[in-house]
Amino acid sequence: MTALQELNKQFIEGQWLDGGEAFTPDNLNPYDDAILNTVARTSKEYENRAFAVAKGTANSWRNTKTLERQEILLKAANLLKERKAEVVDWLVKEVDRTVIKANMEVQQTHDLIVEGSSFPTRMHGIIPNASVPGQKNIFISLIHN
């Protein structure tokens, strides 16, 4: 849990930045109101910067090769699996999950990432018949490999 206590900044343009606002609310445990950490609130300026960077990054992600994207998603899934106990601990303390429910949610998230990463390699090119007589279904896909 201590590793996540340091996550009180925003990652913008390759740097960890303070929130940009003086207001830093405490993140409380819903069970006993103990302070889990203090998070610097993000300023509107930082939000705008982050959205601008994300918009620009979307274009490079779109042009990333399919198998490279799959590799990145699988790396994220493996990282989640490696740090499962830590994530479960945070879910229990921060959002008042039971240990069983938190474990289930982390496992489902892991499985969803793995499943999603497999979509690009499972394309078959089947075009189903149209439901309206006399019409054809046409699918066009732009693949950037």
Q: Given 63, 84, 109, which residue is the final one in a domain?
A: 63
Number of domains in the chain: 2
Q: Token pair for residue 132? A: 């309206």
Residues 20, 43 contacting (CB under 8 angstroms): yes
Residue 1 and residue 56 in one domain: yes
**CA pair distance 114, 78, nearest whole angstrom:** 9
Query: In a 3-state reduction of DSSP, which class is residue 71?
Result: helix
Residue tagged 């610097």 (tokens): 40
- Cα-to-chain-centroid distance, residue 132: 39
Which residue range is the domain that position 55 belongs to?
1-63
Residue 35 and residue 76 in one domain: no
**pLDDT single digits (tens) 68-108:** 999 999 999 999 999 999 999 989 988 888 999 999 999 99
CB atoms within 10 A of CB 59: 8
Spans of the chain below 50 pLDDT: 1
Residue 69 and residue 54 in one domain: no
pTM metric for this prediction? 0.65
**β partners of residue 10:** 17
Give phi and psi for 25, each to the nearest 5: -70, 150
- Cα-to-chain-centroid distance, residue 111: 13
Is residue 37 in a domain?
yes
Residue 50 and residue 22 in one domain: yes
Is residue 89 in a domain?
yes
